[in-house]
Amino acid sequence: MVGSSGEYAIIAPMRVLLVASPAHATVARFTPTLATLAAQGCSIEACLPLSSELTREGIPHVALGDSELDAALRGLTDGDLLIAPLAGPAALGAVAHVIGRGAGAPLLLVDANDAGDLVGSLAMARDGGTVGAAVRERLIQSAAFALASVLAPAARGNDEFPERQLLLLERVRTFQHGENPHQRAAAYQHALRNRAGVLGAQLVQGSEPTLNDVLDLDAGARLVADLPIPSAALIRHTDPIGVATAETPLGALKRALGTDHAAASGAIVALNMPIDRAVAVEIASGSYEAVVAPGVADESAA
């Protein structure tokens, strides 16, 4: 492989090293990729426990013992590829080794969802194109994130308030601008938790909220979550304009509006109970940026 300016052109057959636990279901997802690479003339090498599985799938390969596997890993160049779904200590160690090598490290694939882009890039390289630095960086980032996801629970331990922990975030969405038009912004959430809160809410009607809307919606949802049911709050610039509780959802909303009805225009409405028809009619009679609630009690209210 030769390269300049961060781009690489394949000029020799690629070595592909597969390191994984045969008992892990993820391995089967790489079978089509391995078959494609073998058909393109790549040399497939795999740790010994995987040999029978690859043979059953009709993929030509060389089976490697533990000592041979270690030497093969160290011998991979930037023109080669390591496939290592994170299952078992061997795969974890191999991925950490490649990430730690930096310059001159082989291509790295840990997620079968990234295989399509990789195979496409390799096909372009064989036709005289290049495998760019951006492809390599994206694969390394994917592998590093996957590795950190495996290690994060161990780093945290079982303590309620651990001394150290890894905080892994994934981007949920980007915004047209930040709090001000000249700023850029994106929203992230915990990667190891189910999506919850405002960012995990279902959009029932209207356009995607802006960053300022999301900040206000989050502030409102957190506020009413600590209040008796039913309660309502009106929020602008993350500050409450009106907050109230009452016997009925409509009563709570009207009380909140009554604190400063003029300032409520353009605010967000936060409720801690599903929106019923009476509440929907009241909201429709005003002008608000967005509404957040646990649900819609009557589908016709949406």
One domain, residues 136 and 73: yes
Residue 131 contacts residue 10 (beta carbons within 8 Å): yes
Q: Which domain range does residue 80 map to?
A: 2-154
One domain, residues 20 and 129: yes
One domain, residues 212 and 127: no
Distance CA 136, CA 131 (A): 8
pLDDT value at position 126?
Answer: 60
One domain, residues 121 and 13: yes
Q: Please choose, from the candidates 78, 112, 74, 111, the residue with its C-alpha nearest in 3D space to the C-alpha of residue 93.
A: 74
Query: Is the residue at 199 inside a domain?
Result: no
One domain, residues 115 and 241: no
One domain, residues 95 and 22: yes
One domain, residues 139 and 218: no
CATH of the domain at 281: 3.40.140.20
Strands 169-175 and 185-190 turn out to be: antiparallel
Distance CA 178, CA 2 (A): 42
As for how many domains the chain has, the answer is 2
Query: Is the residue at 198 inside a domain?
Result: no
Q: Which of 122, 137, 154 is the last residue of a domain?
A: 154
How far, rounded to the nearest angstrom, does the alpha carbon of residue 38 sit from its chain's CA centroid?
31
Cβ atoms < 10 Å from Cβ of 124: 16
One domain, residues 130 and 241: no
Query: Is the residue at 42 inside a domain?
Result: yes
CATH of the domain at 21: 3.40.50.1380
Query: Is the residue at 177 inside a domain?
Result: no
Residue 54 contacts residue 44 (beta carbons within 8 Å): yes
pLDDT value at position 125?
Answer: 63
Q: In what order do the strands lie in the sheet with 81-83?
A: 62-64, 43-47, 15-18, 81-83, 107-109
Q: Which of 122, 139, 154 is the last residue of a domain?
A: 154
One domain, residues 14 and 120: yes
pLDDT value at position 1?
Answer: 36
pLDDT value at position 127?
Answer: 53
SS (H, E, C) 18-82: ECCCCCCHHHHHHHHHHHHHHHCCCEEEEEHHHHHHHHHCCCCCEEECHHHHHHHHHHCCCCCEE
pLDDT in tens, the chain (302 residues): 333 334 444 434 789 999 887 666 667 788 888 888 888 888 999 888 788 888 888 889 999 888 898 899 999 988 889 998 877 788 888 888 888 888 788 888 988 888 887 877 776 666 554 566 777 788 888 888 888 888 887 777 788 888 877 788 888 899 999 999 999 999 988 876 766 788 888 888 888 899 999 999 999 999 999 999 999 999 999 999 999 999 999 999 999 999 888 888 889 999 999 999 999 999 999 899 999 999 888 665 55
pLDDT value at position 265?
Answer: 87
One domain, residues 7 and 123: yes
CA angle, corner 98, sides to 140 and 164, nearest 5?
A: 75
Query: Is the residue at 160 inside a domain?
Result: no
pLDDT value at position 131?
Answer: 61
Cβ atoms < 10 Å from Cβ of 208: 11
One domain, residues 23 and 112: yes
**Segments of 149-218 assigned E as strands:** 169-175, 185-190
Q: Please choose, from the candidates 34, 10, 35, the residue with its C-alpha nearest in 3D space to the C-alpha of residue 126.
A: 10
